[in-house]
Amino acid sequence: MTTHSIKTVWKENNTFSTDIDGHEVIIDLGEDQGGQNLGPRPKKLLLASAAGCTGLDVVEVLRKMRIEVKKFDIKIDAELSDEHPKQYKSLKLIYEFEGEDLPEKKIERAVKLSFENYCGVLAMYKSAVPVSYEVKIING
């Protein structure tokens, strides 16, 4: 079994710093919430982790399929609860690809493999809330 360990250090006010693999990640609140806006909010970092996890999978699968894309973006729309503790009630990932003569079925297969089999961050989300996805392909 592998264990991941991090240490998060309180800096000042509402600012925390975490060293992750030699990269400093700052978490803070917005000025309207009493912070200094020195970094992103924790919940949105969860979304970035999900997008990064699935994105890495998709890029690797496309590389193995020898499919080159000019542009690849992942947008996540996450519905937040109104009551405390405020948490995501659902997520929708929108995978957007641009390129020349992109094979739609293969791209959809790469996304499906990540979504259903490989991305551990999405697997954790899916165990807690509904998660869906959509693939958009622009050839040209």
pLDDT in tens, 5-22: 999 999 999 999 999 999
Low-confidence ranges of the chain (pLDDT < 50): none
Rounded distance between C-alpha atoms, residue 46 and residue 28, angstroms:
14
Read off the pTM. Answer: 0.93
Q: What pLDDT, on the 0 to 100 scale, is given for residue 14?
A: 96
Q: What pLDDT, on the 0 to 100 scale, is given for residue 52?
A: 98
Q: What pLDDT, on the 0 to 100 scale, is given for residue 140?
A: 76
**Tokens 């089999």 sit on residue:** 117
**Nearest C-alpha neighbor of 99 from the set 85, 114, 110:** 110
Q: What pLDDT, on the 0 to 100 scale, is given for residue 55?
A: 98
Query: Residue 77 is which amino acid?
Result: D
Is residue 86 within 8 Å of 76, Cβ to Cβ? no
Rounded distance between C-alpha atoms, residue 77 and residue 33, angstroms:
22
